[in-house]
Structures are given as C-alpha cells and as structure tokens.
Structure 1
Amino acid sequence: MQGVGEASKLRLSFCKQDKRVPVTASEMLPPIRRISYKFQDMGCLVSTPQDTGGYRKRPGNVGEVAVFVPGLRIPKPVDFSQPLGDSLSKSLVERLSALRTRIVVMAAQEAPTATKSRKRTATQHGGSTLSDLQQALEDYLPVLLGLVKDGSHLQHKVQFVWVNQEDDAEETAMPNAWYEVLSVLHLMAMLSLSQANLLLLPKTAGDGYQPKVSEAESRRMSIDVFLRAAGYLDCALRHVFPQLPPELRRDLPVDLAEGVLRALSLQALGQGVDIQLGMAIDSAKATLAVKRRLACEMVKYWHQAQENIMHLPLANGWGEKHQLFVKWKYVEAKAAAYYYHGLILDEGNTEKSHGMAVAALQAAEEFLKESKKVCEAFNTSPPISRNPPLWGTMKYLSEKIPKDTSSKVRINRDLYTSENWGIFQLLHFILFDEALHVMAIF
C-alpha cells in the first residue's frame, strides 16, 4: 500500500506546487490583486437636499443571481445643524447635510431593486442609479472624514442611523463618525457587487436592452469591479476597524461584523478569479498548470470566506442565503481544482499516475454533484432566486467533468488489473472523504 501514502502526500501538495508555475503576460490574465483605496482620491460635489426615510424591506424573489449581494444598508436622515452648528461654519454644515441627504434619498430608491436582476436604470444625466449613488458616496466620504481627522472631538457629536439587512435588529444607531465611514465603505462595496452582478447576467433583446459591449468584455470589466469591491472592504478592515473602540465593535450589526466584511472581500476576489479561469479556458495559450493554479486560488479564497462566515449569527433570510452562496462556490471551486489536477496527472505515463488521475476526476465529479445540491438550497432559501443560464467556467466544467471522468474510468479499467484498480478506488475515497480538511491548507 505504498502508493496510498504517496498519493496522500501528493494530494496535500498539488495546489502548493502551482505557486511555482510561471504566469506571464503572454499566457494572458492580469493577476488578482488587492487594492489599497485612498480617501484623498475621491472628488467632491454638492447635492440638493431632500428628505426621506429608510426601512428594511426584503424582497420575496430576487430573480437571477450571478453575484450574491446581501441587500443594501440604508442610511436614515441626520440633522447635522444642531450638534455641529457651534463647531463648524454654516456653509460646511449645509454641504455635509446636502451630500448625505442625497445619499439617503438615492439609497432608499435603489435598495428595493439593487438585488434584483434587471437592466440598468438610466438617469437623466445618462448614467445609472447604481453609478450615481456610488458617485454620491465618493463625494460625501472625504467631507465626512473631516469629522474624524486627527482624533477630532466632532466624531462623537452626531448620532448616525443605518437600516440593516443581515442583522436581527432592523437598524443600528451609533454616535461615532467612524461607524458612518464604515457604513459608507460597506455600501460602496455592495454597490460594486451589484454592478458586477448586472455585468455578468445575460442580456436579451426581450429586455429591451441593447448592449454596448460584448459579453466577453462585460466579464473582463467585472474583474475590475470585483477588485474595487474588495478594495473598499479591505480599506474598511485595515483602516477603519482599528479606529473603533472594542465596545463599539461588539455592538456593530452582523452586517458589519469583521467576519462578514472579510467574507465579502474574499467573495469578490474569488469571483474575480472565477472570471479569469473562464478566460483561461477560452485561451489557447493557457496551460493546464495555469488553469489548475487559478482553480486552487479560487479554493483558497472561498475556503477563507467560509471560515469567516460559518460561525456568525446570520439567522434571517439574507444571512442564511449568504452562507449557502459561499458554501456553493467553495464546492464548485474544489470541483475545478480536482478536475485540472486530474488532467495533469493523466499526462503521466505510469499506472500509478493514471490511477491517481481517475481518483482526482471522480472527486471532481462528486464535488460537482454536491455543488448542484447546495446551489438548489441557495436558490430556495428566501429570498428565492434562480440561476442564469450556465456560462463561463461552470458551463465548461459541467459538460467536461462527467464526460472526462467516465472516459478515463473506462480506459483504465480496460488497461489495469482489478487488484490495482481496487487500490485506485481506495485512493479516490481517501481523496474525497478528507477533501474538506485537505483544502484548508491551500
């Protein structure tokens, strides 16, 4: 049974080996990277003040979902004049009020539809409601940061109130401007994920939508959007969380819990790599080693996302759906990693390598079957959703994994003895039964 021990070592290292695989520009694909978001890069624009209120309204059906977005947290109106009137000039208070009121109005209008699959809603200025709200947040943030600059006493003067989505409490109020900064960055990230969802959903003539770019270009564009979302969340975790005292961190809604923010950031990175893998599949220049490396990178991101979110008290519909989405994508990523690992092993010329290839492909097929079950659970969990037509990585793998596994099993059964075949089957079960633990080291 020496082969079993060697196989165990191999399965523990196959994704680690891919770190040594050179990936050059000629092989395509820009690397996934984290963005360090700079506050000073944002512009400023004064808006006309209006008034509205925000209340949590969860849709019963969100339609097609390519990217999970756990609703939009909505800011409620704030009166800046009373707490800040004696400390800031009237013009600055009015500017701060106008910028935030614009966000309150737009977020209340956008929230009911932000998670639904639909064509972009055009505005009179030629943009979209999502991009206009994103711009409003970028205009507001540098002005807001004036309240926390150099430990200013003004940061505790205003009570900020936001409506939650994943927390049991409908809203959370805190007299701390860093809480407002954290909430703004979270909303900017959720808007980016909503934009990525729109880019990745299929456009049809029946929608009355005339696409200006091809589906391939939309997918390329989505990579930058995913990176932007991850950048906002990374900025929140690195630069805002440390500013909050421990007692305030404990009182944050689960929407803003550190684990949720990390999971969302990792989700964005994982889905960005998924798009890159789809591009690699379509490229004649991308080798099996490159594809396996990308698949292993997906496994790493989704595993870390699951580790961050699985123990959080996400009890309501959005929260449970969020956990199922992460689990679904994690299992899909493992199917891809084992599939490409199996193809690489099959390039060997030995009986052992062929047997290991079959074991890896069978594990990939099991993960593919499991992913379909978790996907169904995700879609039936409220709010109800459905999958868009298969595209990209999973369209390819859903066809290739069963076909290649069946073919390799048949060929190897004909070539090798039943005794050795039994060892190969044992290798398969070892691989599959311990896969959840093994993937943790990637």
Structure 2
Amino acid sequence: EGRTRRERESMGCATSAYVVVGRKDKKRTIQESVVFVLQLRVPVQSDLQRQLKGVAPKTTIDRLTCLRNQIQLVAEDTGGSAISELRTALEEYLSLLTGLVKKKNDGMEGCVEFKWKTLGDGRRGDICFTNLWMEILAVIHMMAALVLTEANSLMIPKDCSASGNGVRVVSTDCRRDAVDLLLKASGYLEFCVREILTRFPFDIKSKLPDDMQESVIQTLSIQALGQGT
C-alpha cells in the first residue's frame, strides 16, 4: 500500500496459487506467492568496433560485440524464455565488463554508446549509456529480471496426474528452488543499490528509467528477500 505510483507501474505482478484437499473432499485454494517481475530490457546492437577503435584491444572489442549481440538475439528470439543460455552469456559479459572497470580503462568512458531497449516495447523504452558502471547496472538488472521470471515459473501450479483428481499443486522441490532464486534476485538488486547506484550523483540517477530507480530496485529487493525467507 505504501508504494508510490511509479514503483507500482514499474513492476509486473504475477500471482501463483495451489489447491489442497481437506477432509470430506473439500478443496481450498491457498494463495502461494506474488512475485513482482522487472521489465526485461535487452541490449541493442551498437557499432562498438568503430567507437572503440584505438581505445581498447581488438580482442576485447570483438568479445564485447559478440556477447551483446548474442544476448540480444537469444532474448528476442525466445522472448526471454531461454533463461539458462541468457544467464551464461550475461555472466561472461559481466565478467568482461568487471575486468575493464578493474583495469580503470578510462579511455572507454564517454566514447562508446551502450544501447538497451525494453523487450516488446518498440523504441519507447530505448536508453543509452556511455559509462561502464551504467552498463554493469543494466546487465545485473537483466539478470535479476530473469531470475524473478524463473522463480515465478516455478510457482505456477502444475497438474498432479498421480492424484487423478485434477488438483493443481506446486511441488516442494519447486517451492524450494523458487526460494533460492528469490534470494539470488534480492542479492543482485541489493548489489545494484549499494555498489553501483551510489557511484552516481542524483542528477544522473534521476534520469534512469522508472524500473531502474533506486526506490523501485530497493522495493523489489526487499520483496524478494521477504518471500525467500
């Protein structure tokens, strides 16, 4: 109830429920979970070879380009459902970006455009970063969105054919795996708040998309942590 309108509009809400059978064959539907899911934002192809020529090693530029294109193509072709493949590519891309930050490759700052768009939202959700830490924020934000999506899919009741009565249930294993994913998502989002957003002045943070605002990310982190404990 205490969330702002911006926070509510920036979060998708997915609800899962399961059914139990009590005495005298009475069925009761018990609310299982409400998972708020971030909008899925994906990279947009950029001419990194031209922008980074002479600034970074060619092998680094080629790897950046390859991973960004891979993430975009897989996400668009599958609607974000190829979570395992996307996670692997994102983790490798994040490792590459982290290495560049640790090397303090200041020559890249401001000379390259990292473009992103909201999946299925045309050009209205397009954003562009020229900062490595902003790119890292976008990557971890996408990783959190995928984890929350996966957690929600595990909480969708499945038909229990063994019972023969058509009762839809969420298995104990699925609930346990969903809890682990919620805790992971909370960790990703908390890292964004504590380790990335603190690096930018207010005027920069205020220009971020609604779903990347600190208040929204913090709210989602707390929500995921609460459901995972």
**TM-score computed with the length of structure 2 as normaliser:** 0.74
Say if 2:170 is the partner of 1:190: no
Unaligned runs of 5+ in 1: 1-61, 115-120, 122-128, 207-213, 274-442
CA distance, structure 2, for counterparts of residue 174 and residue 149 of structure 1:
19
Q: How many residues get paired?
A: 189
- What SS class does the counterpart of residue 131 from structure 1 fall into? helix
Q: Which has the higher contact order (CA 8 A, sep 6+)?
A: 2
Deviation at 1:84, TM superposition (A): 1.4
Relative to structure 1, is the Cα distance of residues 226 and 256 closer, same or farther in structure 2, using a 3 angstrom cutoff?
same
Say if 2:202 is the partner of 1:270: no
Deviation at 1:144, TM superposition (A): 1.4
Measured against aligned partners, the alpha-carbon deviations of 1:300-339 in whole angstroms (never above 9, x if no partner) come to xxxxxxxxxxxxxxxxxxxxxxxxxxxxxxxxxxxxxxxx
Displaced runs of 4+ in structure 1, greater than 6 A? none
Of 179, 182, 207, 1:226 maps to 182
- What SS class does the counterpart of residue 270 from structure 1 fall into? helix
Which residue does 1:149 correspond to in 2? 102
Deviation at 1:245, TM superposition (A): 3.5
Measured against aligned partners, the alpha-carbon deviations of 1:272-299 in whole angstroms (never above 9, x if no partner) come to 13xxxxxxxxxxxxxxxxxxxxxxxxxx
Deviation at 1:205, TM superposition (A): 6.9
CA distance, structure 1, for counterparts of residue 15 and residue 187 of structure 2:
26
> Greater helix share, 1 or 2?
1
Which residue does 1:170 correspond to in 2? 125
Say if 2:61 is the partner of 1:93: yes
Which residue does 1:139 correspond to in 2? 92
Relative to structure 1, is the Cα distance of residues 152 and 246 closer, same or farther in structure 2, using a 3 angstrom cutoff?
farther
Tell me if structure 2 keeps the 8 A contact 1:144–1:181: yes
Deviation at 1:172, TM superposition (A): 1.5
Which residue does 1:204 correspond to in 2? 159
CA distance, structure 2, for counterparts of residue 87 and residue 71 of structure 1:
33
Give, as a single letter, the amino acid of the residue that structure 1 aligns with 2:113: Q
1:406-425 alignment to 2 at 5 Å? none
Tell me if structure 2 keeps the 8 A contact 1:83–1:158: yes
1:354-365 alignment to 2 at 5 Å? none
Query: What is the alpha-carbon root mean square deviation over aligned residues?
Result: 2.5
CA distance, structure 2, for counterparts of residue 161 and residue 146 of structure 1:
20
Say if 2:195 is the partner of 1:239: yes
Percent identity for Structure 1 against Structure 2: 36
CA distance, structure 2, for counterparts of residue 163 and residue 205 of structure 1:
39
Deviation at 1:262, TM superposition (A): 0.3
Give, as a single letter, the amino acid of the residue that structure 2 aligns with 1:158: V
Larger radius of gyration: 1
CA distance, structure 2, for counterparts of residue 256 and residue 104 of structure 1:
19
CA distance, structure 2, for counterparts of residue 205 and residue 71 of structure 1:
31
Deviation at 1:247, TM superposition (A): 2.6
Give, as a single letter, the amino acid of the residue that structure 2 aligns with 1:163: K
Deviation at 1:232, TM superposition (A): 0.6
CA distance, structure 2, for counterparts of residue 243 and residue 142 of structure 1:
19
Tell me if structure 2 keeps the 8 A contact 1:160–1:175: yes
Give, as a single letter, the amino acid of the residue that structure 2 aligns with 1:80: L
**TM-score computed with the length of structure 1 as normaliser:** 0.40
Of 65, 75, 79, 1:107 maps to 75
CA distance, structure 2, for counterparts of residue 92 and residue 163 of structure 1:
23
Measured against aligned partners, the alpha-carbon deviations of 1:168-223 in whole angstroms (never above 9, x if no partner) come to 952221211211110111110111101101111112379xxxxxxx8101111111
> Greater strand share, 1 or 2?
2
- What SS class does the counterpart of residue 218 from structure 2 fall into? helix
Unaligned runs of 5+ in 2: 1-12, 17-33, 162-169
Which residue does 1:84 correspond to in 2? 52
1:43-442 alignment to 2 at 5 Å? 65=16, 66-111=34-79, 114=80, 129-149=82-102, 151-153=104-106, 154-164=108-118, 169-204=124-159, 215-273=171-229
